[in-house]
Structure 1
Amino acid sequence: MKISSENIKSKVSELSKSISSYYKENDVDDLCVVVPMNGGVPFAVDILREITNPGADKIFISYVLDKNQEWIFSGSMPNNKSHILIIEDIYDTGETLSQLISYLEDQYNPLDIKTVVMLDKKIEKKSYVEIEWKGFDIEDTWVYGYGMDDENGTMRQVLYISDE
């Protein structure tokens, strides 16, 4: 399986247009963006470049600490009653997204939380999360590229996605 950089760019444009339309139709002019885990950063950057409305000027990159399993944000915290967009590279078991959404709901009482993922792995989900926008469906395989590392912790930098 291989998804070319051209196909990724095309899908990012398609997703960005749909996201922009949704937020424009709902009169959202301030959007908080959360990117859980480093692998989603390239996807998030590309999406944010193309979102036309609203101004997404707050980016929060988070990660889970192994010791305490607590969410730590690398920027300022979301405002209460915010619109939050989670941008994630891959939706596999659903546990990361489910835990993050619960945390955000408990801590910040957002107006809404929407999720966009580049890849939806076709496996049984341990925790179901509604995904509003998704790029590609993939089989249950380890993929790398476009921010995601291979089994050796390398290959994040390649501009395509592959399991080969």
Structure 2
Amino acid sequence: MEFSDVENDIAEVLYTEQEIHAKIAELSRRIEVDYAGEKVLLVGVLRGAVMVMADLARELTIPIEMDWMAVSSYGSGTQSSGVVRILKDLDTDLHGRHVLIVEDIIDSGLTLSWLRGNLESRGAASVEICALLRKPEAAKVVVDVKYEGFQIPNAFVVGYGLDFAEQYRNLRGIAVLAPHVYA
């Protein structure tokens, strides 16, 4: 889906598909240097990270494995409840593995902070984070992110895996959703 397909729903385009791909390539080069000689397990956080995970995995030139988790701290609302539930757990044993959590966006950091601790407790050799987007103004906890794409304003964004009511995930870029859509 192109921006022009939903132009009345978009307040502002933040990043085009080309800008996102360039950033993922940049992050991939750093990851390749840091994990040279190692096999890294990419852990994608469903559902939003699907696009980031797919493009990151294709861009990387080092051996990787992939697995997926689904966690929720939102329930049916738009504000985090602070209570994290595992909706889909990993199929991979993490003991002694180098784990790279792949996220689409970091808002409050509460869920990601919990997730990192959970994966570390499973005996991983290392647990790092790669996030395409981060909202510094929304942070409620400090989360160390080794591979960060873009810092964005505290706005409701969609596209490239990010949704509103399961819509806009297939938008090729990232944009601020117009308030009239979700008000």
Tell me the TM-score range normalised by the shorter chain.
Answer: 0.7 to 0.9
Indicate conservation of the 8 Å contact 2:94/2:119, yes or no: no
Indicate conservation of the 8 Å contact 2:70/2:87, yes or no: yes
Distance in 1 (CA, whole Å) between partners of 2:57 and 2:94 is: 19
Q: Quote the residue 1:6 is aligned against.
A: 18
- TM-score, length basis structure 2: 0.79
Q: Quote the residue 1:162 is aligned against.
A: 175
Indicate conservation of the 8 Å contact 1:60/1:74, yes or no: no
Q: Percent identity?
A: 28
Q: Quote the residue 1:90 is aligned against.
A: 105
- TM-score, length basis structure 1: 0.87
Distance in 1 (CA, whole Å) between partners of 2:104 and 2:84 is: 20
Q: Mark the CA change 1:31 to 1:72 in structure 2 (over 3 Å): closer, same or farther.
A: farther
Q: Mark the CA change 1:13 to 1:75 in structure 2 (over 3 Å): closer, same or farther.
A: same
Q: Once superposed, what is the RMSD of the aligned Cα atoms? A: 1.7
Q: Quote the residue 1:60 is aligned against.
A: 67
Report SS of the residue matched to 2:35.
helix
Residue 22 (str. 1) matches residue 34 (str. 2): yes
1:22: how far off? 0.9
AA paired with 2:64?
A: A
Residue 81 (str. 1) matches residue 96 (str. 2): yes
Aligned residues: 156
Tell me the alpha carbon deviations over residues 112-140 of structure 1, each in whole angstroms, 9 at most, x when there is no partner.
11111100112142221100011111000
Q: Quote the residue 1:45 is aligned against.
A: 54
| Bigger-Rg structure (1/2) | 2
Distance in 2 (CA, whole Å) between partners of 1:154 and 1:72 is: 21
Moved beyond 3 Å, runs of 4+: 72-75
Q: Quote the residue 2:157 is aligned against.
A: 143
Distance in 2 (CA, whole Å) between partners of 1:78 and 1:129 is: 24
